[in-house]
Chains A and B, each alone.
Chain A
């Protein structure tokens, strides 16, 4: 508790310090001649944020790229040796396949479920709409590791003959089959798919909330016009509503996709990457803290950076288009 009090004190000092810092910087600039004041003031406002971003993201990214060409201590230069080692021995391809499954399955399914729920709840009374949405949205507040515990319990397996306390195997046994070691079964990547279910459970609510707001923003006139023309409810959604919320669908899909590219906690909590469920981020953690090879860990991060570049470009283009409309 004393430590908690110390933390409160640190918070107060930190926040007041930050405020005083901005205030002081502002005072200094205001004391300058007006021409200089106007020139420098914007940098007082953005300066600290830019310094923080440069320190924590830009320089580290450059250093990580540099590290990927260096040995385990990031000291001697080894050229492409790390890349050759990781891409050459084939093990990394299994990781990439798993990551690809995650990237395709989770955004597609989560956004589809989110869209379906958004459309269906739109027709409920407002009380039921709120209740239904809150229930689907709830997992959003749960940590990946908490969700991991929840779902490990659902997938729990025990040898036949012992009581099955995992929900899924209890159902399988009640239907007269042998209990299945779900997370140990990599045929058809079953276990990876079962892990993606967790992420779908977590993210569908997020997709639903944004899509639901977009659907409510569709002008009534366009829907009414289609209805007067005799369109069925299905046609109205496919031809009128969905085209108008396309950009929200794009945003939600990319958001979930980026989140999934870096998937770590769920795999770490349930299988630690065993049984062919490993992904890039887990291998990164393994290389860095078990093998202690900074060079190879950096290569894995570079692979992730390459994977997000298309999304980065799409984001910037979308920003440009939006700015053009403003």
Chain B
């Protein structure tokens, strides 16, 4: 997941109408060669993940003696399939507990930065104040700063505060690291909202606080949704921040850290690795596929061409 340079400024959504409906005689239909290339590409893209999924449902002895593709020949043989790997990894290997920890980490680490960023984005887009340009340039510059810069100093800070290894420490860290991108995406979106709307609200005597809550927040839904999904996926899939600030004690470790632990200690136990990896993926895949629409719209709405 990338949190660094932001996608281009989403402004008002422009309908990306399908040209073919407008121009039925269009010659640009895909030929057979294009279709074959795409088919091969899709197959290549799915194959590694398919191997993981199939393996995670095979009995241990089968996994170590034959390739996963042989199981596709025994689809109807009940002895070729098992859910035992999942039971093992969730119960005995602590993946179930790690799953709850991941939820605990991810939800606040997504919600809090959005709130703070939305306020700041509104001010950058619609308020005039000294230092505005300078501060915004600082934010843009910070988009590319590698988060490694923060590790040692923040580690020391958290130690002094005595919160190192607590959930609070990762909530704060993800809030800090996610902030520049959140401010940038939201500010670009909000700046693209129609000026007349905000002016007329002001004329009607609305305060900035009211304009922000009643007008800007509802209108910025696509950008808020896109950033939430991005931040959610980033936090859920993060390994390094969790490893550094939370550590691998059983009561706090998250799914990525647990999976890394399995890789280190059970590196050849493919039944545990594959089912464990799949457990880590379930939530992001659900979030991603159910919200894909908003994600793409929020990131790509308008203003993309050069």
Contacts and interface: CB of A to CB of B under 8 A. Distances in A.
A311 B284 CA distance: 30
B2 A60 contact: no
Contacts of A176: none
Contacts of A152: 263, 273
B118 to A, nearest CB: 9
Given A49-B120, A163-B65, A149 B153 contact: no
A172 interface: no
A145 B256 contact: yes
B140 to A, nearest CB: 5
B175 interface: yes
Contact of A126 (B18, B108, B285): B18
Interface string B230-265: 000100111110000000000100001001100100
Contact of A255 (B4, B151, B289): B4
B221 interface: no
Contacts of B206: none
A146 B30 CA distance: 34
A26 interface: yes
B116 A153 contact: no
Contacts of B27: 227
Contact of B112 (A15, A165, A264): A15
B121 to A, nearest CB: 8
Contacts of B179: 49, 52-53, 56-57
Contacts of B29: 123
B256 A143 contact: yes
Given A49-B116, A145-B260, A153-B273, 13 more contacts: A15-B108, A57-B176, A120-B30, A124-B30, A143-B236, A143-B284, A145-B237, A146-B237, A148-B263, A153-B51, A213-B16, A244-B306, A305-B149
Interface of B: 1-2, 4-9, 14, 16, 18-19, 22-23, 27-30, 34-35, 37-38, 41-42, 45-49, 51-52, 55, 63-69, 100, 103-104, 107-108, 111-113, 115-117, 119-120, 122-124, 127-129, 132, 135-154, 167-168, 171-173, 175-177, 179-180, 183, 191, 207-209, 212, 233, 236-240, 251, 256, 259-260, 263, 270, 273-274, 276-277, 280-281, 284-285, 287-289, 292, 296, 299-300, 302, 304-306
